[in-house]
Amino acid sequence: MRVQVVIVGAGPAGLLLGALLHQAGVEALIVEQRSADYVLGRIRAGVLEQGTVDLLDQLGLGARLHAEGLVHAGIELSFGGRRHRIDLHKLSGGKNVTVYGQTEITRDLMLARSRSGQRTVYDADQVSVHDFETNKPSVRWVEGGQAQRAECDFIAGCDGYHGVSRASVAPGAIQTFERVYPFGWLGVLSETPPVSHELIYTNHERGFALCSMRSMTRSRNYVQCALDDSLAQWSDDAFWDELRRRLDPQAAESLVTGPSIEKSIAPLRSFVAEPMRFGRLFLAGDAAHIVPPTGAKGLNLAASDVRLLSAALIEHYQDKSDAGIDAYSQRCLRRVWRAERFSWWLTSLLHKFPDTGAFGQKMQAAELDYLVHSVAASTALAENYVGLPL
């Protein structure tokens, strides 16, 4: 078969790119190694920048988001037993963020793609990308025991950190930058009301904690844990007890506990691959970069990547210009590195590091004190949190 674009990966990045191309009349096939149920079952964060919300609105997919999503005008920083509110809306010139789970975004995009009649191949075995340094790239896979091949003009690698797209690039053509953090996040999803109507980021001598939500009846809470911890060590009661210890007295009193729906331990890393274009293969989203979740940038970075990539591909087909394609990597990486910096900084500010000791904790306390009492510092936090312009 032949299509204009093959998208490898049916997560939010791949589905969003497919929707943007379809809106402009560009044909795109999506090939996904996992099942649709597996893709939908992945639990991820869902703090959306205004730009990401606007992109979904542009596609006509914002109805459920606006009906069920929670608009947040601020966040709370907790340290020294007290909470301090950062007014995102005021400090950023009127911008907010919206809490809407990544699973729900994926569901909305899947449904829209199915209704439009576009094809997505799930459960594709042995996916591989070929000849992307030529003008005749292709993607191969096995479907139902039969070998399949799609010739195309371009390949979009939206298949995540462990996908085949980045792994197919010659080692000498790509450079990677990485930091692995010496701790993880233990996260618990529960049918319990959130502790506060806004997210609480906590710096505590026992370690970081985050109180967030998916709705007004479903909470997603986290505590910093050791990388070698196992879920068997963390009963629900043990998790709630540890979270309560790290919260300020008012939040601890307000905490409602309940059985976990989902529980997982996630490692934290900062990762960037450069460049993000290799001939007619483009990397987007987690295939090109990973951020620690502290800054809530992962999904939003993926959305900005595919916004730029879709515009470049549409320009190629409609205007016969490759200016956007040639500038894609440079434009993406400028935003990526700024988001990496913010996520690294916030992670460094809020977590307990095993090698910094009491001095490091005092430095964190001093910086947090300055942050919440300085309009300039609070403004910088707010501007980064709601999302810097493209």
Q: Which residues are catalytic?
A: 72, 201, 293, 297, 385
Distances (CA, A) of 117 to 2, 72, 114, 120: 17, 35, 5, 9
Residues 6+ apart with CB under 8 A from 65: 48, 53, 56, 98, 100, 104, 105, 108
Buried (b) or exposed (e) across 76-94, using 16+ Cβ within 10 A?
bbbbeeebbebebbebbee
Closest CA to 364 of 389, 347, 343, 387: 347
- Residue at token pair 């999503």: 69
Buried (b) or exposed (e) across 214-239, using 16+ Cβ within 10 A?
bbeeebbbbbbbeeeeeeeebeeeeb
- In this structure, how many other beta carbons lie within 10 angstroms of the beta carbon of residue 47? 25
C-alpha to C-alpha distance for 340 and 160, rounded to whole angstroms: 17
Interior angle at CA 69, CA 310 and CA 32, nearest 5: 40
Distances (CA, A) of 50 to 55, 303, 384, 388: 9, 11, 12, 10
> Sheet holding 74-79: strands in order across?
82-87, 74-79, 200-202, 209-213, 219-225, 175-190, 260-274, 289-290
- Residue at token pair 């990966």: 9
> What 3-state class would DSSP assign to 181?
strand
* Structure token digits, residue 192: 């319990």
Residues in the chain: 390
**What are the two backbone dihedrals, phi and then psi, of residue 201, each rounded to the nearest 5 degrees?**
-100, 120
Interior angle at CA 95, CA 303 and CA 286, nearest 5: 20
Closest CA to 59 of 118, 122, 123: 118
